[in-house]
Amino acid sequence: MLDKLKADFDGIMELVNKTPAPLQETAFKMILEQWFSANTARKPIPPPAPLGPGTPPAPGSVPDSIKPFLTANAITTEILEKVFHPTGPGAQLLASSIPGNGKANKLVNLSLLLCVKQALESASFTCTLKELRELAVHYDCYDSPNFSSTLKANKNYYKPREKGADLELSGPGLKKVGESIKSIAAGE
């Protein structure tokens, strides 16, 4: 295992150096933890009792597919648990209100959070406009005449799409939602 660590170390340092200086120590720690958990031989886990066809993965466990996003944004499981419950399939947004000033800001933050909610469910950072509208009505940040223009004005947070198509987070979107999650968890 030591040989493999030596071989991977440069790659790890390269990743760490990409993060801002104040976060490098945290990033190094998190990446190293991930490396050990991925490369350490584990005790065999007995298979779970069969629940039936099409059963989703166990609720509550963070899917592996979104761990790189969490690591890159220094989001620990404790932070994530303050925003989503459970932090796996079936995830629900815990926030009683959405951060942001005004309906437009709230709508954008909501769309980003919904993409993470979907990623906890199915590993893709996407969100349907139908779900966004339903949640926006629920959180009172739905401004119908400006719905499209608000999303358009913040298009850098989403991958290019046709009008009416689902939203998918871009790099800046992932970064922005990482900040939102930490801000919500900190009670700001």
Partner 1 sequence: MDVAQVLEDVLEELTSIQKDVNKLKTVSVSGQVLRKRVKDTHKNWLPVSGVLEAGNIIDTAQLQEVAVAWTALVKLANNASPKKLYKAQLKIIITKTESELLHRFIKGSAIQTIGDTLRKLVQPIADTELLKYLDESIRCAETNCVRASVVLAWCAVAHMVHKKLTSLGFATLNAEFARMKADKGLMFRAFTKDYVFSTEPDVQEAADAHLILLCRFLTYLDDTQYKHLKSALDLRNGCGHPTGYQPDPVKLQAYYADITQLVLLNPKFA
Residue ranges in contact with partner 1 by CB under 8 A: 51-52, 54-56, 59-60, 81, 85-86, 90-93, 129-130, 133-135, 137-138, 142, 144-149, 163-164
Residue 59 or 102: which CB sits closer to partner 1? 59
Name the minimum Å distance from CB 92 to partner 1.
4
Nearer to partner 1, 101 or 144 (CB): 144
CA-closest candidate to residue 87, choices 116, 107, 112 = 116
Rg of the chain on CA atoms, in Å: 18
HEC sequence for 164-182: CCCEEECHHHHHHHHHHHH
Question: Is residue 158 helix, strand or coil?
Answer: strand
Rounded to a whole number of angstroms, the minimum distance from the CB of residue 75 to partner 1 is: 18
Kindly give, in sequence order, each residue whose CB lies less than 8 Å from that of residue 65, ignoring residues fewer than 6 positions away. 119, 123
Residue 178 and residue 188: Cα distance in Å, rounded? 14
Angle at 87 between CA 29 and CA 77, to 5 degrees: 20
Pick 164 or 187: Cβ nearer partner 1: 164
Nearer to partner 1, 56 or 102 (CB): 56
User: Closer CB to partner 1, residue 17 or residue 55?
Assistant: 55
Rounded to a whole number of angstroms, the minimum distance from the CB of residue 108 to partner 1 is: 16
- For the record, the structure tokens of 180 come out as 């939102």
Tell me how far apart the alpha carbons of residues 174 and 120 are, in angstroms, rounded to a whole number: 14
